[in-house]
Amino acid sequence: MARTKSSKPARAEPASGEEAPNPVWFKPVMFGFMLLGLAWIIVFYVSQGRLPIPDLNSWNILVGFGIAFIGFLMTTRWR
């Protein structure tokens, strides 16, 4: 008796102990946070402290690094 192929495609399921891959949106969001943080710091320096939020003064640097740091933290969960 000959075997026939099933009409359903085979799905690769992660073995026990392995985690599922990240959703499609994960990588763009991760890199987006890193680039947004970098852009925040660059805008602060180029505008000589007038942008993005003038009332924060030098704390704008910390805000930019904080945003970028979120992106770097996301890299630890990237599969």
Residue 16 CA: distances (Å) to CA of 19, 20, 37, 71: 8, 10, 37, 28
Phi-psi category of 60—alpha, beta or left, where left has phi over 0 and alpha has psi -120 to 50? alpha
Tokens of 40: 């925040």
Q: What is the pLDDT of residue 23?
A: 93
**What are the backbone dihedrals phi and psi of residue 66, each rounded to the nearest 5 degrees, phi first?**
-65, -45
Three-point CA angle 10, 11, 16, nearest 5° = 130
Q: What is the pLDDT of residue 41?
A: 95
Q: What is the pLDDT of residue 2?
A: 66
Q: What is the pLDDT of residue 9?
A: 63
Residue pair 2/32 in contact (Cβ under 8 Å)? The answer is no
Average pLDDT per run of 10 along the chain, which is 79 residues long? 64 68 94 97 92 90 97 93
Q: What is the pLDDT of residue 79?
A: 87
